[in-house]
Amino acid sequence: LFQKPNHNKTLKEFTKEYIRYVKSRTARYSERTIETYCYSANMFAEIWGEIRLKDFTPYMVEFEIRPHLEDRFGSMATVKHHMINLRSMFSLAVKWELIDKNPFSGMIPILAKKQPVYFKEEEIRAIADYFNSRTDWTRTYFQLMLDTRMRKGELFRLTWSAVNLQPDEPFVRVY
């Protein structure tokens, strides 16, 4: 029979239900996704488990939870990953009407785009000298990479149908 939602549920109580729910969704989630959702949920419940779901606020996320994750993991990419998992967890609590609003909504950190670091001319020469002394496939691979400016993934996906060696207009189509 249907029971009314418990609005005084603690995070620890909800985490048990959440993990059971996520593990039942094998048709929707990969094994690795389930594993990461469970890891984030358990880690979070270990620290804040006695707090009631309805007592979590965006302020708490911004000034307690996020700084804790930053101190614990260091990498902003990892912090973002866990916060996305926790947002998903709290979205389920909203869906199940255990809370009215998701405290993680709009709180996911935006990662700064890193500027690419290019090799200096002398570094390229040193690398080229190394590969030129080789006699295996890596010499050809490196030279092709330099001549075409292709990335390693593009080179490994390269097929003959993408190559045109006609003298008037040689090209390599990159996918």
pLDDT of residue 13: 94
pLDDT at 1: 52
Q: Which pLDDT value is given to residue 141?
A: 85
Is 175 within 8 Å of 154 (Cβ atoms)? yes
The span from the CA of 101 to the CA of 57, in Å, is 9
| pLDDT value for 2 | 55
- CA count, 13 A, side-chain hemisphere, 56: 35
Residues of the chain with pLDDT under 70: 1-5, 175
In angstroms, the CA 94 to CA 15 distance is 14
pLDDT of residue 137: 86
Rounded CA-CA distance 137/65 in Å is 50
Extract the tokens encoding 44.
Answer: 């979070």
Q: Could you tell me what percent of the chain has a pLDDT over 70? A: 96
Cα(96)–Cα(6) distance, rounded to whole angstroms? Answer: 10
Mean pLDDT computed over every residue of the chain: 88
pLDDT given for residue 41 in this prediction: 95
Overall pTM surpassing 0.85 (yes/no): no
d(CA 75, CA 77): 5
pLDDT score at 68: 92
42: its two tokens: 């358990």
24: tokens are: 């039942």
The two tokens of residue 88 are 């998903």
Tell me the C-alpha distance between 109 and 79, whole Å.
Answer: 8
